[in-house]
Homo-oligomer: A and B are copies of this chain.
Amino acid sequence: MKTTVKMMKLIPLGIGLLFSMGVSAQFGRNPIKSPEVNEDGKITFKLFAPEADTVKISGNWMPGWGTRVTMVPNDTGLYVLNIDPLPSEMYTYTYYVNGVKVLDPGNAIIVRDGVNNQSMFFAPGDVADLYQTQDVPHGVLSKVWYPSPTLDKNRRMYVYTPPGYNEGNKKYPVFYLLHGAGGDEDAWTTLGRTPYILDNLIAAGKVKPMIVVMTNGNAWSSAAPGEEPTSASTVQPDFSQMVRGEFERSIVNDVIPFIEKNYRTLADKDHRAIAGLSMGGMHTQNITNWNPGTFAYIGVMSMGIMNNPRWNTGYNEEEHKKQIAALKDSGLKLYWIGCGKEDFLFESVTNLRKLYDELGLKYTYRESSGGHTWTNWRIYLAEFAPLLFN
């Protein structure tokens, strides 16, 4: 409590009192700030753990998945790790204290990916600037519930309206952006940094002002963990719904009509874009293959053709070819495919490209380094969004 007492001396006593009770949050409660980026760019992680036997840290910048680096305590039990400067990016990490996963008590910022929480920080630089708030005009990010007769549920989504939306009667194009398996409607707004990327690229004149709609792709649920109606709290994930096409049908039957009724949209093919990552890339393919002429802009991230017989997806090559032929004639303006070289779905993407080459469906291909990661999906979003509605 020494640090708290010291801090209290700097502020009027009465205000200090408001901080002095334990129940409300206290600025002074976490005297150790972690991580800290030093002037030389090196990054220091700190955890005070005088009773711990082992403290390790695992971060997504470390080579190899699940790597844990042992930290060493000083005399007081403060474990410190200095690491060399990292490329500017958004990073996640956790400690392990005697083998138990620990979110950094010195870092207020936690990001959730499905049921997995991680501490988060930015290594400063251009990329981090793109993914964070800047002093530019901001869009509005809204949590919106909509009826889905197709899924027989009220469901939750995010709607981003661009800067200026509330100040006029202009109509806007709409970009539907779909998450992957294990995620939910929160994912693109937090890990995907969509509102930040859009605000910043719109301010730079690189992205057209647009509405972005981020849905929940899990057909069996209504909303992210903790947001589900309590009446549905015993509902278990039904993974078979992933390949039954119900979510895909709900986008066209429920979501698009809701958005076009409730927002000022340009409601035609040339002003509708859709993209998704992993499972959302499968959803994107299904939605666009089944509804040619609905979207002029399509982005498929880290997901290829689901034709491996082991995958048991009911894949029908003839049907697929007919769908792509119809899509090819539907007035597409952009078909964009992105994949990392180390992605476990890389081969499926290669197969998809082969099929499109064979059928003459033109696409833009972006091959990045790395694998099936949010690092890539953020990059893809920042590269795909500028190509829309031009």
Which residues does A use to contact B, with CB under 8 Å?
10-27, 29-30, 47-54, 60, 65-66, 95, 97-103, 105, 108-110, 112-117, 120, 124, 128-129, 132-135, 137-138, 140-145, 154, 166-167, 180-183, 195, 222-223, 225-232, 237, 239-240, 242-243, 262, 278-279, 306, 308, 310-313, 344-345, 371-374
Contact = CB atoms under 8 A, between A and B. Distances in A.
A239 B345 CA distance: 52
A231 B124 CA distance: 11
Nearest to A143: B141
Nearest to A135: B229
Nearest to A306: B14
Dominant SS at the A interface?
loop
A26 B66 contact: no
B52 A114 contact: no
B53 A98 contact: yes
Contact of A132 (B47, B49, B50, B230): B230
A10 B277 CA distance: 23
A97 B53 CA distance: 11
A163 to B, nearest CB: 9
A373 B24 CA distance: 7
A27 B237 contact: yes
Given A27-B115, A113-B25, A100 B310 contact: no
B102 A100 contact: yes
B65 A23 contact: yes
Contacts of A310: 13-14
B14 A116 contact: no
A240 B25 contact: no
Contacts of A371: 21, 23
B135 A154 contact: yes
Contacts of A98: 49, 51-53, 97-98
Leading 8 A-B pairs by shortest Cβ distance: A14-B311, A25-B114, A11-B239, A25-B182, A25-B113, A51-B99, A138-B145, A18-B181
A48 B62 CA distance: 25
A108 B101 contact: no
Given A50-B99, A100-B97, A228-B133, A374 B108 contact: no
A277 to B, nearest CB: 9
Contact of A108 (B18, B50, B114): B114
Contacts of A313: 12, 14-15
A108 B183 CA distance: 12
B344 A108 contact: no
A137 B14 CA distance: 42
15 contacts: A11-B239, A12-B240, A12-B243, A12-B313, A18-B182, A24-B180, A29-B114, A49-B98, A51-B98, A100-B105, A108-B225, A132-B230, A133-B230, A134-B229, A140-B144
Contacts of A134: 229-231
A70 to B, nearest CB: 13
A193 B102 CA distance: 27
A64 B227 CA distance: 31
A175 B309 CA distance: 58
Contacts of A124: 230
Nearest to A263: B166
Given A18-B182, A23-B371, 18 more contacts: A13-B312, A14-B310, A17-B311, A20-B344, A21-B372, A23-B65, A25-B115, A29-B115, A30-B115, A30-B116, A50-B99, A51-B54, A98-B98, A102-B102, A103-B117, A133-B222, A134-B230, A138-B154
B49 A99 contact: yes
A92 to B, nearest CB: 10
A15 B99 contact: no
Contacts of A145: 137-138, 140
